Amino acid sequence: MAAVRVRVPAKVNLALRVGETDEQGYHRLGTVFQAVSLGDEVIAEEAPPGEFRLAFQGEGAGFLPVDDTNLAIKAAKALAAHVGRGDLGVNLMIRKRIPVAGGMAGGSADAAAVLVACNALWGLDTPHDELHGLAARLGADVPFLLLGGTAIGTGRGETLTPVMSSGTFHWTLALAHTGLSTPAVFKEFDRVSPPQDTEIPVGLLEALRNGDAAGVGASLINDLEAPAIRLLPTLARTLEIGLEAGALGAIVSGSGPTCAFLAGSDAHSVELAEALGVFSGVRALRRAFGPVPGAQVLP
């Protein structure tokens, strides 16, 4: 096969509860992920045995490593090692649209996409549960970007339970001028907050099941939002502006700093983008809808 193209979504955390740390020092989480239509595209092409190359185009391309420290390269090599094949290689091109260090799992999404792309390119037919296992070892968010849709994540976020959801949810995403380090946000959480109850709000799950956008908006919760705002205070004003413009709900996505605003319709998401676009604390705006599938090979 000459080349494989895979599209992979970003994620928004509709709920993110942060509990105590486990024996390895990782926080136990209770989260609800939703995959949204803002996504990256991975193109995988055959390469000589043992050759793994990576290049980027688009959002933040110049700031991303292309060596073995990148999750995308780690994913390709992990799959080759898993099947015990030293004769495999790949050239990867990733077209970025997911913000870098934005709390939308861009790096994890690319790793998920590479697993799917290399599995197809190399004709491996690796079962989904084995890909899930590889994904979980690469990072806590990677399994969800394989799955997509809407799901509860427990443990470190890698143990997934699909959530019944009806209808389409429209999002306006406000990107910040600087990224936030996930470890730094967790460290700030630990500095000022005790561990929280990781139970998912029942009202959120009911609203998702009923396609009740207003109910979902009212139930959004993120225990990392306050520490993210302490590290980047302009986020507070970004959230205020969106709510003043009629957003059904507003939340810092994951560890931030991207702010996600739930709109009542596609047209409403445009209005929110216009209101947020005048604020100097916002670098760029994107609109998306969810839920969408996880990493998928394109025809």
- CA 176 to CA 255: how far, in whole Å? 13
Phi/psi at 180 (5° precision): -125, 135
Contacts 24+ apart (CB under 8 A), 269-276: 269/170, 269/171, 269/172, 271/245, 271/246, 272/172, 272/242, 272/245, 272/246, 272/247, 273/172, 275/241, 275/242, 275/244, 275/245, 276/172, 276/174, 276/238, 276/241, 276/242, 276/245
- Whether 142 and 29 have beta carbons less than 8 Å apart is answered as no
| Catalytic (active site) residue 141 | yes
- How many Cα atoms occupy the beta-carbon half-sphere of 56 within 13 Å? 22
Residue partners of 15: CB distance under 8 A and separation at least 6: 30, 31, 32, 200, 201, 204, 219, 220, 221, 222
Lookup: tokens for 47:
């390469």
Q: Which residues sit opposite 172 in a β-bridge?
A: 261, 287
Bond into 257 cis (ω within 30): yes
The tally of CA atoms less than 13 A away on the side-chain side of residue 290 is 35
Give me the catalytic one of 11, 40, 96, 212: 11
Task: Check if 187 is active-site.
Answer: no
Out of 40, 74, 96, 141, pick the active-site residue.
Answer: 141
Residues with catalytic roles: 11, 141
